[in-house]
Amino acid sequence: MDTISCIGEGWRLCTAASFISCIILIFFLNHSHDRVNLSTLGNIAIKSTLPANESDANMKLLQVADLKEHMKQINKEDKCNVFDGKWVYDPKQSPLYQGAQCPFLSDQVSCQRNGRADFMYEKWSWEAKGCKIPRFNGTDMLERLRGKRVIVVGDSLNRNQWESLACLLYSALPPSQAQVDVESGIYKVFTAKVGFKVLLVVESFS
């Protein structure tokens, strides 16, 4: 009987020890699983945030680069060059002076005196690239150049420019306040009573 009792007591101890061991094992397994899950989630979170930070940084760099390029483009567009542009037609545009009424134009440069019937060519104006050229103001020019002289020296092209300038200024004054003196066809002087003179000296190419 004592032997049987000892065996039974041993089995009970083994069973209890096994049960306790199972509980401890299950506890550690659950704890390890939670730790693995937390670690995995942490890694996922880190991996998901790193590209976002890098993406934000890259986006900011791209924005800065785009801004610099945009500013360069603006500077290029805003740079004024009166010699770079195009002719623009405006049907509502009126000429600054009437060629037929200007006494300073040579016959060879007056389209209307040479029989041209239309006036459409007077509706074109020069539009510079990157800036807006203000409309010519003859009164303002005469005031700015009061008491001064402007000399135009050149061939027939410069003569055309002188005649056009004289007509522009003549249209801004009463006829009694402007006159032109001609000497031998190569020396012309436009004189306004504000003390301003535009001299033309014709010099042909040698």
The range of the structural domain enclosing residue 45 comes to: 36-78
Rounded CA gap, 200 and 181, in Å? 10
Whether pLDDT at 40 is above 50: no
Q: Are residues 158 and 191 in the same domain?
A: yes
Q: Is 61's pLDDT higher than 70?
A: no
Question: 24 or 96, which is more confident?
Answer: 96
> Can you give the pLDDT at residue 60?
58
Distance CA 8, CA 20 (A): 18
Count how many domains the chain has.
Answer: 2
Residue 192 shares a structural domain with residue 174: yes
pLDDT tens digits, residue range 63-72?
666 666 655 6
Question: What is the pLDDT at residue 85?
Answer: 92
Is residue 134 domain-shared with residue 188, that is, in the same domain? yes
User: Do 193 and 147 have their domain in common?
Assistant: yes
Burial class (CB in 10 A: 0-12, 13-18, 19+), 188: buried
- Give the C-alpha separation, 93 to 151, whole Å: 30
pLDDT surpasses 50 at 50:
no
Is the residue at 20 inside a domain?
no
Instruction: Note whether residue 13 is domain-resident.
Output: no
Max alpha carbon distance in the chain (Å)?
Answer: 160
Do residues 159 and 180 share a domain? yes
Token pair belonging to 67: 């801004």
Q: What is the mean pLDDT of residues 28-48?
A: 46
105 and 54 in a single domain? The answer is no
